[in-house]
Amino acid sequence: MNTNLSSSVPSQLETDCLVVVVLDRSEKDQSKKDKPAVTVESSDDAVREAVKDVISSAEVTGKAFETTLLHRPAGLKAKRLLLVGGGKAKTFSAAELRKLAGTAVRTLKSKSIRSFAFVVPETAVPAGQGLRAIVEGAFVGNFDPGYYKSDRNEKDQKIDALTIVVHGDAHDAKALERAMQAGRIVAESQNFTRDLVNEPSNRMTPTIMAERAKKMAAEVGMNCETYGADKIKQLKMGAFWGVAQGSDEPPALIVLRYDPVGAADKIHLGLVGKAVTFDTGGISIKPADGMEKMKYDMAGGATMIGVMRAIALLKPKVKVTAVICATENMPSGKAQKPGDVQIAMSGKSIEIINTDAEGRLVLADGLSYARQLGCTHLVDAATLTGAVVVALGYVNAGIFASDDQMYERFANANKQAGEKMWRLPLDDEYKDNLKSNIADMVNAGSRWGGAIFAAMFLKEFAEDTPWIHLDIAGTAWMEEAKPWIAKGPSGIALRSLVEFVKGWES
Ligand code: BES
Ligand code: MN
Ligand code: ZN
């Protein structure tokens, strides 16, 4: 999708479709009844005139994601005018605007429209922020997961060109251009991640994932090393290998390094990702119903690869290393069995109670390795537990943090990125559940508080390094389409992580 900026008066712009946001300003207070209940977010009189009738007809309410398409709007050079509802004006922010841009893309592409112009709301959000949100939302909305439909090429409905209309000329054109490019980099990286996650396990093996990371790294000029079983054994990654040993597909340890000149040497961020390219559960096999979804169990790793892509292009001055542990989790004659004891890279012994609790095993060694590489702060992302879905549903991802200061930084980044996440606890009381009769700890405990148990397990391997764990099991895959995003891989956490990394810039 091509993107370009325009500062023309919206009504004077020639386009297939002009998109304008409308907001609901209705108030409960009866004394304010004569104020307009729905406002159009453009000061262009011609635009206001063109929408006057449809607004006064009460057909347009401003309700979030409501779309109204008008043809040949009077007084406008645009062929069509699309009004998108942004909900209550009081709560409207860049996060809503991002979704509206996605909604506009998905509404228009389904009508075979290939290009449009989006008017940045004038008062609701600062211009640079609004512009970035629109670019991000539009790219995310343009993603279509139907990769293997044989009529995909005929049906390929995508927006080719997006014009973003900024009002007035008081803005610093260079700053706006930069905001647009940044939005594009982040959103394309999010779609890069979604692309990896969307592939089924026969087309996204650990080896293929490593190749894709290498290819991306070469394109953006970043260092990428990929290793196989030999290196995993040589590093004594007994927990990672315990999972990998059951599969005929070789595992991959993927290391991406971003080390810019001028970065402070005191800070070295480590991003660790779970990339189980298919999770059958192993010998503790999962029920058949819904097992096909376990192809997205590599989403945490795919997220970290996408974050590194964005970082390499945005070039913040902060050192970042990503460690991605890729493997299948299979039952076989070589597979680990319940009761087996594995010695992790850190030297800690683990009694395997349930081979389906494999994510924490691969991450345990990933975290140790990131520490060995010198990382001073760790973040991991993983589709780790069904229990986080019980706790937070499909709406919020779970955040766990061992360090409050680091959490504050992450929470700020998360707010900027407009992604929904919620902090869960890591009290010492939960630690009792880790006890094993035979080893230092078990890999799975009671059913209750399962997401917290998994996080407590990981904490043992982050040791004293400040660490954040993101459990994205309920949010990495959209169970249904939304107005702004297709059903399928969501790319959750990437934007927050990119913001988080940028926040450490020296
Ligand atoms: N990959 C799953 C978690 C998961 C569940 C991801 C639903 C996406 C959607 C993970 O490896 C797993 O199987 N976890 C078990 C742990 C249990 C055996 C302690 C779970 O959550 O049931
Ligand atoms: Mn599992
Ligand atoms: Zn898993």
Does ligand 1 have an atom closer than 6 angstroms to the CB of 338?
no
Does ligand 1 have an atom closer than 6 angstroms to the CB of 356?
yes
Atom of ligand 1 minimally distant from the CA of 384: 3
CB 459 within 8 A of CB 233: no
High-pLDDT (> 70) share of the chain, %: 98
What pTM was computed for the model? Answer: 0.97
385 alpha carbon, closest ligand? 1
Tell me the C-alpha distance between 45 and 469, whole Å.
50
DSSP code of residue 319: E
| Three-state SS letters, 215-230 | HHHHHHCCEEEEECHH
Residue from 289, 383, 385 to probe ligand 1 pocket by mutation (most atoms less than 8 Å from CB): 385
Each residue's pLDDT tens digit, 405-461: 999 999 999 999 999 999 999 999 999 999 999 999 999 988 899 999 999 999 999
Q: Is 286 a catalytic residue?
A: yes
Lowest mean pLDDT of 73-77, 123-127, 135-139, 428-432, name the range: 123-127
Distance 294 CA to ligand 1 centre (A): 9
High-pLDDT (> 90) share of the chain, %: 92
Each residue's pLDDT tens digit, 191-217: 999 999 999 999 999 999 999 999 999
Tell me the C-alpha distance between 291 and 278, whole Å.
9
Q: Is 132 a catalytic residue?
A: no
Distance 276 CA to ligand 3 centre (A): 6
Each residue's pLDDT tens digit, 34-57: 667 999 999 999 999 999 999 999
274 alpha carbon, closest ligand? 3
Q: Give the per-residue pLDDT at 56.
A: 92
Does ligand 1 have an atom closer than 6 angstroms to the CB of 182?
no
Q: Which pLDDT band holds residue 91 (cuts at 50, 70, 90)? A: very high
Distance 403 CA to ligand 2 centre (A): 27
Lowest mean pLDDT of 29-43, 271-285, 294-308, name the range: 29-43
Distance 323 CA to ligand 1 centre (A): 21
How far does CA 299 lie from the centroid of its chain? 9
Which residue CA neighbors atom 5 of ligand 1 most closely?
A: 386
Q: Give the per-residue pLDDT at 166.
A: 93
Which residue CA neighbors atom 3 of ligand 1 most closely?
A: 385
Please give the radius of gyration of the chain, using alpha carbons only, rounded to the nearest integer: 24
Q: At what angle do helices 494-502 and 404-417 cross, to 10 degrees?
A: 120
Which residue CA neighbors atom 7 of ligand 1 most closely?
A: 386
Q: Give the per-residue pLDDT at 30.
A: 57
Q: Give the per-residue pLDDT at 155.
A: 72
352 alpha carbon, closest ligand? 1
How far does CA 279 lie from the centroid of its chain? 21
Q: Strand pairing of 268-279 and 319-329?
A: parallel
Per-chain mean pLDDT for the chain: 96
Q: Give the per-residue pLDDT at 405.
A: 98
Q: Give the per-residue pLDDT at 170.
A: 61
Q: What are the residues facing 346 on neighbouring strands? A: none
Does ligand 1 have an atom closer than 6 angstroms to the CB of 297?
yes
Atom of ligand 1 minimally distant from the CA of 383: 6
